[in-house]
Amino acid sequence: MKELELKYGCNPNQKPSRIYMQDGSDLPIEVLNGKPGYINLLDAFNAWQLVSELRKATGIPAASSFKHVSPAGAALGLSLDELERRIYQVDDLGDLSPQASAYARARGADRMSSFGDFVALSDTCDEDTARLLKREVSDGIIAPDYSPEALAILKEKKKGGYAVIRIDRDYQPAAEETKTVFGVTFSQGRNDLPIDEKLLENIVTKNRVLPEEAKRDLLIALITLKYTQSNSVCYAVGGQAIGIGAGQQSRIHCTRLAGDKADRWYLRQAPQVLDLPFKDTVRRPDRDNAIDLYLGEDADDVLGEGRWQELFTVRPDPFTPAEKRAWLDRNIGVSLGSDAFFPFGDNIERAARSGVSYVAEPGGSVRDDHVIAAADRHEMVMCFTGLRLFHH
């Protein structure tokens, strides 16, 4: 296929719209079902690069959940324990394959942001992953292949309109990238520097003990940032991203946004949340919205007089700020990556509140000494990678 005509571009008034190869060669994708749109394909190509790089760096199947050209979640296919199966809402699906486990983690990190996502898988989409996807609100998927059983399940999703894309796993893009903005063509070399453990060798803090699991999680954070709209910060633990702050103009706002998402991920594991007495009739997206409100400053919206009766069999007790802080203090060993240097130590102070023990950032700020001192106060391990990862 030389080109693919699209319904419209970013918005319905932006017509005509298509994708094609400038050199006239065939596209590296095949649409097996549905009609992916302009933004769907932007998500798909960025997401595929992310999971491909995670797979190469770790040797483990990977998945990502993308929305508006930034990941809502990214994860490796590590087995899920009983608690994780509950918080990711897959405890009724039996044992999941590594690829399905990767998507359960990626989707479950930030279920609010993953609503209506575009999915990328590093490996063949199997029946387990398709069954999981069938019941989630999602726009489409890109993967190198699909089992016959998985493809049959996905073709039934969205009344037959679910976008299913197969990509050539051996496709390599040109070394030069171009795009046009306001009639002006921009050109740059592709960002193809490998992200591996060599980037973590320059440890600048007093604490130099960097466990293998922390190295893995730092690589997950850095690879995720490579395909996240800048400025961006990513928290990771246990083989997955748990909080991603994308597209902020201020570095501290990235750190706060990602930290707040990481906190919500951990708070979802608290008994107060796991045992919320939802009525059986409450749908999964409505539960996600209610949990988000319950954990935030708008808890009265779901616990107030009358409102709780729509969702719960009995009125839950509030989750007090003191109780939340006590629970969050149990979250330790989190890794943090930043796509550019931290200009102030306030980023480290905020990260410490979300259990961060390990940090990877490029370094190069005139205040590096202040940032290092802040990390030392919290006994963190911090690596200067020397590699900026802006993505626009």
Q: Name residues whose C-beta falls within 8 Å of residue 187's C-beta, 6 or more positions apart in sequence.
A: 176, 177, 178
Q: Return left, alpha or beta for 247; rule: phi > 0 is left, psi -120 to 50 is alpha, else beta.
A: left
Tell me, yes or no, if 202 is annotated catalytic. no
List, as one string, the DSSP characters of 321-381: HHHHHHHHTT---EEEEESS--SSTHHHHHHHTTTEEEEEE----TTHHHHHHHHHHTT-E
Catalytic member of 67, 157, 261, 391: 67
Q: Which amino acid is at 158?
A: K
Q: Is 345 within 8 Å of 205 (Cβ atoms)?
A: no
Catalytic member of 33, 40, 46, 231: 231
Tell me, yes or no, if 68 is annotated catalytic. yes
Catalytic member of 2, 159, 198, 392: 392
Q: How many Å apart are CA 283 and CA 174, to the nearest integer?
A: 45
Q: Which helix (H) or strand (E) holds 184?
A: strand 184-189
Catalytic member of 56, 68, 155, 324: 68
Tally of CB atoms within 10 A around 104 = 28
Q: How many Å apart are CA 122 and CA 101, to the nearest integer?
A: 12
β-partners of residue 29 are 167
145, 151, 202, 348 from 62: Cα distances, Å: 14, 19, 27, 28
Q: How many Å apart are CA 21 and CA 19, to the nearest integer?
A: 7
The 3-state DSSP class for residue 259 equals: helix
Q: How many Å apart are CA 252 and CA 233, to the nearest integer?
A: 9
Q: Is 21 within 8 Å of 27 (Cβ atoms)?
A: yes
**Burial environment of residue 126 by CB neighbours within 10 A (0 to 12, 13 to 18, 19 or more):** buried
95, 114, 375 from 72: Cα distances, Å: 24, 6, 27
The 3-state DSSP class for residue 290 equals: helix
Residues that are catalytic: 67-68, 231, 392
